[in-house]
Amino acid sequence: MQYRMMAAKIHRATVTEADLNYVGSITLDRELLDASGLLPYEMVQITNLSNGTLWQTYILPGPAHRGDVCLNGPPARHFHPGDLIVVLGFRWVDEREMPTYQPRTVFVDQHNHVTSIATAEEPFTLAPNA
C-alpha cells in the first residue's frame, strides 16, 4: 500500500514578488529547493498565512541565495509581497519505506535564507491493520 505523505515543508517564507502576467507557477530560490529536496516542476501546495488562500502549482527554480519567492500568474491575485507562506511538497511512500521515512521542514529568516532544517525525530510506524 502507498500513502501520500508530506515530503518537505518550507515554513513561513516571505513572498518577494507576485507577477500576474507570467504564465504560472511559483519561483523558489534554488537554495530552498536544495535544502528541502523539492524538485523543479514538482507540484506543491502553497498556503498564505496572511489570508488563508491555498493554491497548488509547480516549482520553477530561481537563482540561489537571492531569496526569491515569486507567485506567478493567477495566484498573484491572492499572494502579495510581504505575505508569509508555507510551501508543502508531497510524495507517495510505500508501506515498506515507512520505518525510515523522514520528511524535512526548512525554516527560513525574513529574507528566505535557510536558518535550519528539521527531520522527524522518530520514524513513523503504521498501526497494526492500517
Positions annotated as catalytic residues are: 25, 58
CB within 8 Å of 94: residues ≥ 6 apart: 1, 2
The closest of 28, 50, 41, 44 to 114, measured between CA atoms, is: 28
Q: Is the dihedral of CA 4, 7, 10, 11 positive or negative?
A: positive
> Cell numbers 504564465 label which residue?
23
